[in-house]
């Protein structure tokens, strides 16, 4: 794999730390800025909504730019956003800075996916996407625990200063390593770009992503109370167990990429089905400590095994004008699933059937995504039949 691909991974690592590290610093942020823990928690929601809104906005604004220019510019926005977080004098300034930072997220991964697939041979495109997304998974294993420790030891602002430094490094390595492309991200009109959403397969691909990740975050958002309140672990055991989840993310991500390179549509169907099965079986596993830890790891594997196939499927169906926009919106779809999933898990806790039922309720979402994928496959069947009967 080319060095440029690992430069994209470095940017993905920084973005991953920024997105998730705030979860471990809510108490410190709340105490320092004089807000409740629940108000501090809205900084997570604000970021997710910033990704959803920022993806189409930033992709539209940069649509006529060269892709390398887009990536470098987005990392500069990311770096300035984290600098603003570190310097934020009050809660609302921090919220605004988090939203600003999130604006870089969707378009970076969307355009980065297109760039990554152009750096490798056709039979390694999904693996290239997986390697770029490895930065996101490694952020959960190494970056988030270190950032949490740093923030608890030296104050939460020190974490954002550290991520600002990561952003500067990412700007440098992307500038040096990613080759200069000869044409802008989009060469047609905005109307041509938006026409990609008239393709049913693109819309179905976005729906698969949303529903698949509703299931993941309905459980992951509340994994700590599940482990302590149902499985019976002490509070101090949660962080090491989440390390198991992070290792599962890396394994699932790389495995999903290799599968998608060989069998794209079967990989979409298989990974969504596997995610639903893991969530259903987790309902029983969380009542036993050993099985509970095992299934936390399996959840990580199943969750990120869906990412390369879903992203590659959308890139394939959106090929041509509007591919970058569709790819960016698929990243927004992941985050929309995150936000809806967190709400769904909370609704199950507050309005029944309760904390222990989150896993099987969450399984309904990837099952819905699987049903959408089957519809998509059915729509593809006539095209495959025509292609197989055409004379050369």
Work out the pLDDT band at 305, boundaries 50, 70, 90: very high
Residue 386 pLDDT exceeds 50? no
Mean pLDDT score, 294-306: 93
Q: Which fold has domain 1-184?
A: Growth Hormone; Chain: A; (1.20.1250)
Residue 184 pLDDT exceeds 60? no
State the Cα–Cα distance between residues 213 and 335, nearest whole angstrom. Answer: 8
Residue 384 pLDDT exceeds 60? no
State the Cα–Cα distance between residues 158 and 286, nearest whole angstrom. Answer: 36
Do the two domains 1-184 and 186-381 of this chain adopt the same fold?
Answer: yes
Residue 165 pLDDT exceeds 90? yes
| 193-215 pLDDT, tens digit each | 677 777 888 889 899 999 999 99
Mean pLDDT score, 359-368: 95
Give the list of residues 6+ apart from residue 63 with CB closer than 8 angstroms, or none: 184, 185, 186, 190, 193, 324, 325
Percent of the chain at pLDDT above 70? Answer: 93
Domain 186-381 sits in CATH 1.20.1250.20: yes
The C-alpha angle with vertex 262 and arms to 319 and 314, in degrees rounded to 5, equals: 25
Residue 262's CB: how many other CB atoms inside 10 A? 11
The domain segmentation of the chain, as residue ranges, is 1-184, 186-381
Q: What is the pLDDT of residue 317?
A: 84
* Least confident window among 88-97, 157-166, 254-263: 254-263
Work out the pLDDT band at 80, boundaries 50, 70, 90: very high
Residue 245 pLDDT exceeds 80? yes
Residue 1 pLDDT exceeds 70? no
Q: What is the pLDDT of residue 388?
A: 45
Model confidence, pTM: 0.77
Residue 131 pLDDT exceeds 90? no
Give the list of residues 6+ apart from residue 332 with CB closer than 8 angstroms, or none: 51, 52, 54, 55, 56, 106
84, 161 Cβ separation under 8 angstroms: no
- How many whole angstroms from its chain centre is CA 84? 23
116, 129 Cβ separation under 8 angstroms: yes
Q: What is the pLDDT of residue 361?
A: 94
Q: Between the CA of residue 195 and those of 121, 188, 200, 203, 323, what are the distances in Å? A: 28, 11, 11, 12, 10
Q: Between the CA of residue 67 and those of 102, 110, 177, 184, 201, what are the distances in Å? A: 19, 11, 13, 6, 25
| 44-70 pLDDT, tens digit each | 778 888 888 888 888 888 877 888 899
SS3 string, the chain, reads CCHHHHHHHHHHHHHHHHHHHHHHCHHHHHHHHCCCHHHHHHHHHHHHHHHHHHHHHHHHHCCCCEHHHHHHHHHHHHHHHHHHHHHCCCHHHHHHHHHHHHHHHHHHHHHHHHHHHHCCCHHHHHHHHHHHHHHHHHHHHHHHHHHHHHHHHHCHHHHHHHHHHHHHHHHHHHHHHCCCCCCECCCCCHHHHHHHHHCHHHHHHHHHHHHHHHHHHHHHCCHHHHHHHHHCCCHHHHHHHHHHHHHHHHHHHHHHHHHHHHCHHHHHHHHHHHHHHHHHHHHHHCCCHHHHHHHHHHHHHHHHHCHHHHHHHHHHHCCCCCHHHHHHHHHHHHHHHHHHHHHHHHHHHHHCCCHHHHHHHHHHHHHHHHHHHHHHHHHHHHHHHHHHHCCC
State the Cα–Cα distance between residues 75 and 63, nearest whole angstrom. Answer: 16
Work out the pLDDT band at 301, boundaries 50, 70, 90: very high
Provide the β-strand partners of residue 66: 184
Q: What is the pLDDT of residue 66?
A: 87
Mean pLDDT score, 231-239: 83
Higher-pLDDT residue of 267, 129: 267
Q: What tokens were used for 109? A: 């991964």
Residue 320 pLDDT exceeds 70? no
- Helices 323-351 and 37-61 cross at an angle (nearest 10°) of 160
State the Cα–Cα distance between residues 369 and 204, nearest whole angstrom. Answer: 9
Mean pLDDT score, 5-30: 84
Give the list of residues 6+ apart from residue 334 with CB closer than 8 angstroms, or none: 209, 210, 213, 307
378, exposed or middle or buried, with CB in 10 Å at 0-12, 13-18, 19+?
exposed
Q: What is the pLDDT of residue 149?
A: 83
Residue 85 pLDDT exceeds 80? yes
**CA-closest candidate to residue 68, choices 191, 187, 173, 189:** 173
40, 30 Cβ separation under 8 angstroms: yes
Identify the sign of the CA torsion 132, 138, 361, 293. Answer: positive
Q: What is the pLDDT of residue 381?
A: 61
Work out the pLDDT band at 147, boundaries 50, 70, 90: confident
State the Cα–Cα distance between residues 40 and 22, nearest whole angstrom. Answer: 9
31, 86 Cβ separation under 8 angstroms: no
């Amino acid at each position: 794999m080319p060095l440029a691909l690992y430069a994209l991974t470095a940017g993905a690592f920084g973005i991953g730390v920024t997105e998730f590290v705030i979860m471990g610093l809510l108490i410190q942020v709340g105490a320092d800025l004089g807000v409740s823990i629940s108000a501090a928690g809205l900084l997570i929601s604000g970021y997710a909504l910033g990704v959803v809104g920022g993806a189409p906005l930033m992709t539209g604004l940069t649509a006529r730019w060269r892709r390398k220019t887009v990536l470098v510019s987005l990392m500069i926005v990311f770096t300035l956003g984290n600098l603003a977080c570190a310097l934020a004098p009050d809660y609302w300034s921090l919220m605004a800075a988090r939203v600003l930072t999130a604006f870089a997220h969707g378009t970076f991964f969307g355009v980065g996916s297109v760039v990554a697939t152009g750096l490798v041979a056709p039979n390694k495109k999904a693996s290239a996407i997986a390697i770029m997304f490895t930065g996101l998974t490694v952020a959960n294993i190494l970056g988030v625990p270190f950032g949490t420790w740093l923030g608890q030891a030296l104050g939460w602002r020190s974490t954002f200063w550290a991520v600002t430094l990561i952003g500067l490094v990412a700007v440098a390595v992307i500038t040096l390593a990613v080759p200069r492309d000869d044409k802008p991200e989009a060469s047609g009109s905005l109307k041509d770009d938006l026409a990609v959403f008239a393709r049913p397969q693109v819309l179905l691909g976005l729906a698969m992503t949303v529903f698949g990740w509703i299931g993941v975050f309905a459980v992951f958002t509340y994994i700590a109370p599940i482990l302590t309140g149902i499985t019976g672990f002490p509070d101090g055991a949660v962080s090491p167990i989440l390390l198991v989840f992070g290792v599962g993310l890396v394994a699932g991500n790389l495995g999903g990429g290799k599968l998608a390179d060989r069998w794209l549509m079967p990989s979409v169907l298989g990974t969504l089905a596997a995610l639903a099965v893991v969530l259903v079986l987790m309902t029983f596993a969380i009542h036993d400590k050993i099985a509970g830890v095992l299934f936390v790891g399996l959840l990580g594997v199943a969750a990120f095994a869906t990412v390369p196939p879903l992203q590659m499927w959308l890139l394939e169906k959106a090929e041509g004008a509007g591919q970058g926009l569709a790819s960016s919106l698929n990243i927004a779809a992941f985050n929309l699933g995150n936000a809806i999933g967190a709400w769904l898990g909370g609704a199950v806790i507050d309005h029944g059937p309760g904390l222990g039922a989150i896993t099987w309720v969450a399984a309904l979402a990837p099952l819905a995504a699987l049903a959408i994928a089957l519809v998509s496959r059915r729509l593809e069947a006539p095209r495959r039949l025509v292609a197989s009967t055409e004379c050369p």
